[in-house]
Amino acid sequence: MPVALASLVAEAKSLIDESLQDYITTADWQRYVDSAIDELWRLFQGNNPDAVTTSAAFTSSPFTIPANRGLRFVQKDPGTNQFRNLQPVSIGSAQHQDGYYRIGDALHLTPGQAGNFALFYVRTPQSYASAATNLDAILEPFREFIEVRAALKGASKRDIAKPELRDRVAQLYEEIRDAITCEQGLPDQIVDVYAYDYRSRGWLP
């Protein structure tokens, strides 16, 4: 069953007894949930990028790059035995090397290439509290992280101490990171999530 983003906001509010108060605006709560979604997405991007990678097919350039969190590679003849990855090249060397280059939001193939191609990129989350109704399905098992992280931001806004929430979100961070890496058989990694202080092993407000 899809997780409604409104329910994430409601749970975050209840964690700091904000349910019946209007001290924090709806727009603020949406931003807090959006920020928590973004942090969780960065965990996937840094520890298991394949899980959040998708592709877009094209046959000619320039090709408009879809909304993304980072380009990974370009393939020629995807899905066939002849597939190969193209190399990124500089604009200056584009006339002399077989590959691709980027200008703004457009991807260009070097001259002389023809056939079928695919761009593989890290997609953006499908849903945000301010623009959609449901949480991205891949994040659903980790909804508690979003709720607790958003609640911490609300607590900071109200200038109230919630050490138990700070401890819980740090614990969830480690559990989620381990789940993402171990389930995929990947080496343990540390991803640079901007709100986490690794020296103190604590979350910043």
Please enumerate in sequence order all residues whose Cβ is within 8 A of that of 71, keeping only pairs 6 or more positions apart, or say none.
65, 102, 107, 119, 120, 121, 122
Give the residue from 101, 75, 97, 107 showing the smallest Cα distance to 88: 101
Q: Each residue of 124-135: pLDDT tens digit?
A: 998 888 888 899
Q: What is the pLDDT of residues 67-109, one digit of tens each?
A: 999 999 999 999 999 999 999 988 877 677 789 999 999 999 9
According to the per-residue pLDDT averaged within each range, which of 22-31, 135-144, 188-197 is highest? Answer: 135-144
Contact (Cβ atoms closer than 8 angstroms) between residue 192 and residue 46? yes
How many Å is the maximal CA-CA distance in the chain?
A: 66
CA angle 14, 15, 21 (to 5 degrees): 45
Cut 0.75: pTM above it? yes
18-75: per-residue pLDDT in tens? 765 667 888 999 999 999 999 999 999 999 999 999 999 999 999 999 999 999 999 9
Residue type, 36: A
